[in-house]
Amino acid sequence: MRALPIAVVAAAAALTLTACDSGGDSSSSDSGKKASAASSAAASTACKIDQIGIQVGPANAAPAAGDTGNVPVTLTNKGTECTLQGFPAVTVQDGGKSTDVPEEKAANPPKLTLAKSGTASFTITYVRGTAGDGKSLDATALKISLPGAATAQSFKWSYGPVAGKTGASDPNASVSSFQPAGD
């Protein structure tokens, strides 16, 4: 029977604390506005793919099935200062089939600011598959987009089939986060 009075007191205390907030505290609404403005500012300074030059390779291509290859990708800012944070979206394609390359699990992406003509890079690491094998994607094209962007740029993939872990739609590949490049 003692539990009932304690529950009633706890409920009454919770209602009392809730009733104390009139909703007129300007500091909480101001901080919400500031967070929204900061989010908008970050989005407006994000690098746009149409202002970035992209160079794929030269690669350390995997020579045979089962070997690992690395494809470096260099980005050069052709516009005003902008920021990159996170991972690029990378898709490998074979005609009508396409599959996303997953992000490197252990990476902790830094936030990079690119001045005009500044450079950054990332690396696509893949295991070469066997052409015509049902577990491999006979990749012929590569699509790259920047974080939060809907548009992508396409490039030729000439590094052989990409092995799948369990099938062609589960590539044995990864993409690193953006890293500073150059001086």
Summarised one tens digit per residue, pLDDT across range 69-95 is 999 999 999 999 999 989 999 999 998
Residues 32 and 64 in one domain: no
Q: Can you tell me the mean pLDDT for 90-105?
A: 91
Instruction: Report the pLDDT value the prediction gives residue 21, as an integer from 0 to 100.
Output: 40
Residues 107 and 148 in one domain: yes
Residues 110 and 92 in one domain: yes
Residues 27 and 54 in one domain: no
Residues 41 and 54 in one domain: no
User: pLDDT-based confidence at 183, cuts 50/70/90?
Assistant: low
Residues 71 and 156 in one domain: yes
Task: Give how many domains the chain has, as a whole number.
Answer: 2
17 or 70, greater pLDDT: 70
Q: Is the predicted pLDDT of residue 98 greater than 70, yes or no?
A: yes
pTM over cut 0.85? no
Q: Can you tell me the mean pLDDT for 121-140?
A: 93
Q: Can you tell me the mean pLDDT for 103-116?
A: 89
Domain that holds residue 38: 3-45
Q: Can you tell me the mean pLDDT for 103-132?
A: 92
Report the 3 state secondary structure along the chain.
CCHHHHHHHHHHHHHHHHHHCCCCCHHHHHHHHHHHHHHHHHHHHECCHHHEEEEECCCECCCCCCCEEEEEEEEEECCCCEEEECCCEEEEEECCEEEEECECCCCCCCEEEECCCCEEEEEEEEEECCCCCCCEECCCEEEEECCCCCCCEEEECCCCCEEECCCCCCECEEECCCEECCC
Instruction: Report the pLDDT value the prediction gives residue 169, as an integer from 0 to 100.
Output: 86
Q: Is the predicted pLDDT of residue 42 greater than 50, yes or no?
A: no
Instruction: Report the pLDDT value the prediction gives residue 105, as an integer from 0 to 100.
Output: 86
